[in-house]
Each structure stands twice: as C-alpha cells, then as structure tokens.
Amino acid sequence: MKEQQSKKAHSSGEAFFQCAAVFFPYLLPVELASISLTCITLYQIAKLVTARRISDSSRNFENVPIPFLNPIVGDSQPYPYFLYTPTQVLQMKPDLRQPWGSDNVSQMCQGGHTRPDPFLFRVEGGIGCGCVDKGGICDNCPCTECGPSCMCDFGCGNRMTQGGVSVKLKIVKDDRKGWGLYAAELIPEGKFVCEYTGELISTKESRQRQQKYDELASNGCFTPALLVVKEHFPSGNVCIRINIDATRIGNVARFINHSCDGGNLETVIVRSTGSLLSRVCFFALREIQENEEISFSYGCFRLKPNGQRCFCDTSSCTGFLPSEHT
C-alpha cells in the first residue's frame, strides 16, 4: 500500500513539473523570479525559460533570432518584457499574455511566409500588377508592394518588406540610453531592416496615452514607444495619421533609439495592394557596420526643456528628444 502511494505521489509530482514547463512561459519576469524561489526544480525551469527569452526577443516570429545583451556590470535586468507582434494589430486587452520561453515552438510563430496581417485582403476581380510577366519586377512606385490581389508569390521582388526581419540584429543595453537595437552583421545600403509594428490606435487614444506616458517618463524609469506618422498626399490638403503604440506590444523596432543627425535608417511609408493601411518600414540609409547602433530621427518637432534627455552624442545633438502635441 505504501509503495503504491509513493508511486502515485511521484507520478503526481512529475505531472506538476510538466505543467510548470507549460505555464511558466506565460509568467511576467517578477512572477517568474518569485516562483523560482520555491524549490530547486522550479528554479531550473524558470532559469531555462529566462535563457530562452534572452536568446530570442522575437519568439521565433522572425527569420533569425534577435537576442538581448546586457553588458552593464551590476545591472540585474537580463531582458525587458513586452509582447511581440510581427505585424500591426488592433488595440489589445490590457490583461493579454503571450507565451515566451517555451521549447514548443508552433509553426505559426515562424518567420517568412506565414505572417498573418489583419489589414490585408484580396480584392475580388482585382488583377493586381503585372510583375509575374516581368520576372518579379514591378513598375509601381517603390513605396507600393504587391499584395493578395497580385498573382505573384512571396518570391516576388516587390514584396521585400513582407517576409519579416532577415538581417542579424541584437538588442543591447546602454547605461544612459537603455536598450537599443544594433547590427549583428554588416547591413548593405538599401537593405530592408524591419517594420515598426504595434497597436493601431485612434488619435484620441493616442493623445490620452501620450499624456500618461509623459507623466510616467518624467521620473526616468519609463520608456514609451508611441509612434505618430502623418502621411501627406501630393495635393497637400489631405493627411493620413497613423498611431502605432509599441509600448506594450510591438517588435524589435520599438528598441530603435533617436539620433539628432537622422541616424542610419531611411523611413519609408509602404503600401501593399489590397491593404487597408500603409506600414512604416526602415531601410539602411547607408552601409551599417557590425556592432553599430541602428537609429533614426524621431522627427522635427518642438523640444521640451523638461523632456526626455537625448544621448545620441552626435555633433548636432540638441540634448532632448523631439516631442509634439499628439
């Protein structure tokens, strides 16, 4: 009888630790650290989850892993926590969680051709472009890519931003700037680097969040990632405003820091045929060296004397990050 009870207890213990490996990836860092103190086995599981998170910030959504690196002695933060999305998403629920650090990687979480985009649709009767007959070369404006209505596949030369990140990158922490995006290999001039993804929110919501973010950032312990893009049409009378908030959910672009000299990225508004909205994409403005920080200008807006400090260290540095009335 005792032997049977012992076997049953052992079996129950194994089942518990197997379940722990499943739900641990859903935990926040503070929760993971707290539960790891309960016993050696849970500590080992938590340590493994943390190592996987550090090794790839993209949760395998991209074509290549994008690791975190914290070289600051005495800094105990191995990685910043956020939710990952390779495409634009609608406003998310505040209590949403996403597994990160599991060894069970779904095929749906892999980069390349399986990236879902809720704002792409096929236009019935649409003929798209004629790039199939031209060897994958499209005559449209370089800012317009092929989409669902086109007859071409993902191998088309006019879909360069739709396959996700393909260059090697890393996220490194600086003692002044915080986390920043760096090149982990030489990136040629004109190469697509990444898209800026996050929650698509209304202008009203954007203004409310910006006010809240400014208050939180005033103590220097909070870094928002709300990007406002205004696309002006040739007539000059029409302007489309896009508000992308990557503070809570976004991709690696949320770590790109500002540079007062314009940085080494070119910001391009890209629209795909059949897409409801345009996308903000970054291309290498020049050849970017391995281990060089990747940066762009946040815009030419007014400067707040009491705003966030800028540490780009360029000759044209204003000392403060650009800001605007959103």
Distances (CA, A) of 33 to 42, 75, 163, 219: 10, 15, 35, 25
Amino acid 219: pLDDT? 72
Instruction: Please spell the DSSP secondary structure of 24-69, one letter per residue.
Output: GGGS-HHHHHHHTTS-HHHHHHHHHHHHHHHH-TTTT-SSS---EE
For the chain, residues classed under CATH 2.170.270.10 are: 60-326
Q: Which residue has the higher pLDDT, 6 or 157?
A: 157
Instruction: Give the CA angle between residues 83, 292, 324 to the nearest 5°.
Output: 60
Amino acid 207: pLDDT? 92
Condensed to tens digits (0 to 9), the pLDDT of residues 147-158 reads 877 878 878 888
Condensed to tens digits (0 to 9), the pLDDT of residues 174-211 reads 999 999 999 999 999 999 999 999 999 999 999 999 88
Helix or strand (DSSP H, E) at 257 = strand 257-258
Give the C-alpha separation, 294 to 145, whole Å: 24
Token pair belonging to 119: 């704002």
Q: Which residue has the higher pLDDT, 231 or 86?
A: 86
Question: Is residue 138 helix, strand or coil?
Answer: coil
Least confident of 30-34, 125-129, 228-232: 125-129
Compute φ and ψ for 242, nearest 5 degrees.
Answer: -120, 130
Distances (CA, A) of 53 to 30, 57, 240, 299, 303: 14, 6, 37, 32, 36
Least confident of 128-142, 199-213, 258-272: 128-142
Average pLDDT over residues 291-305: 80
| Cα–chain center distance at 262 | 20
In the beta sheet, which residues pair with residue 268? 281
Q: Which residue has the higher pLDDT, 110 or 212?
A: 212
Query: Which amino acid makes up residue 26?
Result: Y
CATH number of 60-326: 2.170.270.10
Average pLDDT over residues 304-309: 70
Q: Is 248 exposed, middle or buried (0-12, 13-18, 19+ CB in 10 A)?
A: middle
Token pair belonging to 161: 């931003």
Amino acid 32: pLDDT? 95
Nearest to 148 by CA among 192, 111, 116: 116
Give the C-alpha separation, 97 to 286, whole Å: 38
Amino acid 276: pLDDT? 72
Condensed to tens digits (0 to 9), the pLDDT of residues 102-130 reads 886 553 444 444 456 666 655 555 555 66
